[in-house]
Amino acid sequence: MWTGGGNRCYHRQFLYGNNIMAKSDKDEYELLVANTKHILESQGGRDVIWHMLSLCDLYTDGFTGDSRESYISGKKSVGYGILQLLEDVDPAAYGRLLITQHEVQIDD
């Protein structure tokens, strides 16, 4: 993007999911993706990710007719961000988490 004045300053931007990021943010996000990939390599890491997703009420109906709607919407927004991160790490990661948790529930 040109910032005006006598100098032309271009600001490189990159697209991840639905978010446009500056180059420094892209580098930070790539580090986050690499760290998340490392976390998903262990069962304990996958359990933590699953626990965080379960706190986000992704499958809860957000309509309550009162102020709780905003609260639930915010929780879901965080969950959708986690899902986007998982998608960027490995498109099949969430599916594997679902299958693993289903198998754990059957064993219990």
Would 12 be classed as within a structural domain?
no
Domains: count for the chain: 1
Mean pLDDT across 94-103: 92
Q: Tell me the pLDDT tens digit for each residue of 28-84.
A: 999 999 999 999 999 999 999 999 999 999 999 888 889 899 999 999 999 999 999
Given this model, what pLDDT does residue 9 score?
36
> Residue 82 sits in which domain range?
24-107
Distance CA 78, CA 58 (A): 9
CA distance 6 to 22: 22
Residue 58: inside a domain:
yes
pLDDT of residue 23: 74
- Between vectors from CA 15 to CA 9 and to CA 37, what angle results, nearest 5°? 125
DSSP state of 96: H
Signed CA dihedral, 22, 49, 100, 44: sign only: positive
Is 7 among the domain residues? no
Question: 108 pLDDT exceeds 90?
Answer: no
User: Does residue 36 lie within any of the structural domains?
Assistant: yes
DSSP 3-state of 19: strand
Q: Is the pTM of this model over 0.85?
A: no
Q: Is residue 1 a part of any domain in this protein?
A: no
Kindly state whether residue 44 falls inside one of the protein's structural domains: yes
4 found inside a domain: no
